[in-house]
Homo-oligomer: A and B are copies of this chain.
């Protein structure tokens, strides 16, 4: 008779995790990346060099760089953020975290309590919404167009909330390669957003995890770079540019905020070896590697768009992603992608149902997110074809694949 833990569980616990049974054959979920693009030889060289030079520092928590993370990595970030985003960020005001998820957790731990309200984009990162749900925090959806948050409706929302005496704790935005839509907010709109945030006195939380991966290599200045008032909290990650299994992200902001985030970072530091190897690698290889990733991912994006056009015809609508590793697809209203996802996974095709990526699940019911970073081009083609078959069998959609009517 095994011991029964259930009487001891706290209330409101999520369902138990299942046993892991391997990746699905066609894996269109998760922020996985291209296996062939991992710079293995450079990693070997970087880790060898940095370990030989500084390995003995692993004997101390925080390596001799203090609790904010390995200083050479913060120095690299300071320089790189300046060039890439236009941001002036002192290495002393950067906090290295265990993936950008921890950046979300720390900012939430500093700012949020149950019953608080935040503004999110109507379609946004599932992990962020889940965190709000767990914290008992309300979120209000700001509608998007092809340039990100629509400022007219945002102004309306903020006015309405003010009228109800609700002061949102922050505006969460992924302005550069928005997740899941793949859009980029132009600079003019970033300035409008800042203006609104100022007039309503609401901090902006700028999640820039995908920002390096624009397909044309260009991007607007970060919102944080456009703000001389320090009202923007910024996070980024090496998960998408370098490798997601390295759990390294960063939080950049005013010391007033960073010092609070550091005070609630109770983990005795983020993994040092990964920070050391990353710093050593990035100082010499980051720009070249990112340029290569842009090409690799742009080609895969073309592959998945071609496959969607070929297999779903006009039934699959999508905006052309401007970068990143995912595409946001709208199917006809009658398709419930949550049901579709359940059937598809049983046949080896994993996808993100739109409801999970939408502040209002109902609005995402017939949408889906497909990640194209990890599967090969052949797997993308086969997987999308199989998905179209399954979808047609289950819903009668797509009626046509390309120009050919389905039987």
Contacts and interface: CB of A to CB of B under 8 A. Distances in A.
A183 interface: no
A38 B64 CA distance: 15
Mostly helix, strand, loop or mixed at chain A's interface? loop
Contacts of A101: 266-268
A48 B44 contact: yes
Interface stretch (A78-86, A106-114, A151-159, A314-322): A106-114
A3 B254 contact: yes
Nearest to A261: B17
A273 interface: yes
Given A254-B2, A259-B17, A246 B267 contact: no
Contacts of A61: 30-32, 244-245
A43 interface: yes
A113 B11 contact: yes
Query: How many chain copies does the complex carry?
Result: 2
A385 interface: no
A111 B48 CA distance: 42
Interface string A92-129: 10000011011001000111110010000000000100
Given A2-B229, A2-B230, A274-B273, A59 B47 contact: no
A34 B273 CA distance: 17
A169 interface: yes
B59 A243 contact: yes
A167 to B, nearest CB: 8
Q: Which of A5, A111, A201 counts the most chain B CB atoms within 10 A? A: A5
A8 interface: yes
A176 to B, nearest CB: 21
Interface string A248-275: 1000001011011011101111111110
A156 B397 CA distance: 69
A264 B19 contact: no
A323 to B, nearest CB: 18
Say which size band chain A's interface belongs to. 35 or more
Interface stretch (A49-57, A330-338, A346-354, A399-407): A49-57
Interface string A370-386: 00011000000000000
Given A56-B36, A61-B30, A5 B266 contact: no
A271 B243 contact: no
A67 interface: yes
Interface string A129-158: 011001000000000000000000000000
A203 interface: yes
Nearest to A63: B245
A247 B275 CA distance: 12
A191 interface: no
A340 interface: no
A59 B44 contact: no
A274 B158 CA distance: 45
Given A1-B229, A243-B272, A246-B273, 9 more contacts: A5-B257, A8-B169, A10-B112, A61-B244, A98-B98, A102-B267, A246-B272, A247-B267, A247-B270
20 contacts: A3-B230, A3-B231, A3-B256, A5-B254, A8-B203, A9-B110, A10-B110, A11-B113, A16-B263, A20-B62, A32-B59, A40-B51, A47-B51, A98-B98, A99-B268, A105-B266, A134-B266, A239-B268, A271-B274, A273-B277
